Amino acid sequence: MSNTVTPWEVKGKIDYDKLIEQFGTQKIDEPLIKEISDLTGGKLHTMLRRGIFFSHRDLNLILKDYSDGKNFFLYTGRAPSLGMHIGHLIPFVFTKWLQDVFKVNVYIEVTDDEKFMRNPDYSLDQTMQWSIENILDIIAVGFDPDRTFIFQDTEYIKNMYPVSIKIAKKLNFSEVRATFGFDNSSNIGIIFYPALQIAPTMFEKRRCLIPAGIDQDPYWRLQRDIAESLGYYKAAQIHSKFLPPLTGPEGKMSSSSPESAIYLSDDPKTVRKKIMKYAFSGGQATAELQRKLGADLSVDVPYQWLYYFFEEDDEKIKKIGEEYSTGRILTGEIKEYLADKLNRFLEEHRSRREEAKELIKEFKYEGKLAKEMWSKTIV
């Protein structure tokens, strides 16, 4: 099975240890976890405890800067789409937690320009409209409106253009071609775009920590090559695994196969139906066999979704794992359990999303950090 991970393609069953080796990143090991725990007074997000965020670059330096009072800032982003699914929330949920425990600024770039330029079928009107919709979902995650700046590239371009062209001047076609797999038929906008994705790592003269899927790593490798020559820090990253698609343990959820994902807008009936019908099970073919042999948790998507995201209680997930793998609970039961959890989560999410409509101005323009950002040019 091939194993392709670029910013646009995640295919095949993913060997995360191999990715660490391939990308040359560091594993998040026990001592590092302990260091975080010491700094946060014992708090550790589920996704850290369970190794969903599994790899990093310079996270140790981020923690040191935090201890030394130099502080750091967080940066993540979103290529807007018609609808966001559960998997899209992972970096945001985790970034929000980091903001809560470290009380730091968060910058969220919404790349309406990139999405438009990369896809022949999309109009700029569409990607700008999707940006607004996606921003509501992002706000619903619970960021601090005075410490978070959410911006669309087409809106904030003037303020970040000077630093972006300084970055662009340092990167030639060979470098971006090799890094992103561009070729001579790539359009000149998408060739320039890496400069705009790198720019927010230079929004402060502090170290930047980027929580994101490991597929975004190529951007940060380029950033790390040039940041210091521009008077900024090399960006640090913390990489997450991909929540497996409903339909099987391989690859990443995709908007092109709606049954592979739960969308944030899916109603309770749809959620239940998708899970019951499509969720790939590690359980046995019959109840009798399941009672006898138990489920294979390593390929069971409902179990993995609970483990990655929806069952935060360590005791409970342990118990579910034991009972399911030994056949004491059946596939139908674990699916029901996930469907309930998911529907509760989505109900709360959508209620916060409604409130976000009142808050969007704060995050984009009027909150403390947003105001600061609009009043300055990044050079």
For the CB of residue 179, give the shortest distance to a second copy in the complex, in Å: 11
**193 residue type, one letter:** Y
| CB proximity list for 129: less than 8 A, separation 6 or greater | none
Residue 166 or 234 with smaller CB distance to a second copy:
166
CA distance 19 to 268: 36
CA distance 133 to 124: 14
CA distance 36 to 128: 37
For the CB of residue 117, give the shortest distance to a second copy in the complex, in Å: 5
For the CB of residue 119, give the shortest distance to a second copy in the complex, in Å: 9
Residue 253 or 378 with smaller CB distance to a second copy:
378
**167 residue type, one letter:** I
| CB proximity list for 128: less than 8 A, separation 6 or greater | 112, 152, 154
Residue 166 or 349 with smaller CB distance to a second copy:
166
Residue 47 or 196 with smaller CB distance to a second copy:
196
CA distance 267 to 343: 8
Query: What is residue 2's DSSP assignment?
Result: -
CA distance 338 to 75: 31
Residue 167 or 346 with smaller CB distance to a second copy:
167
For the CB of residue 177, give the shortest distance to a second copy in the complex, in Å: 7
For the CB of residue 118, give the shortest distance to a second copy in the complex, in Å: 9
For the CB of residue 54, give the shortest distance to a second copy in the complex, in Å: 31
The site for a second copy (CB under 8 A) is made up of: 113, 116-117, 124, 154-155, 157-158, 161-162, 164-166, 168-174, 176-177, 182-192, 194-195, 379
**271 residue type, one letter:** V
Q: Which residues sit opposite 56 in a β-bridge?
A: 26, 238
Which token pair is 197? 């994705």
Contact between 79 and 109 under an 8 Å Cβ cutoff? The reply is no
Residue 186 or 326 with smaller CB distance to a second copy:
186
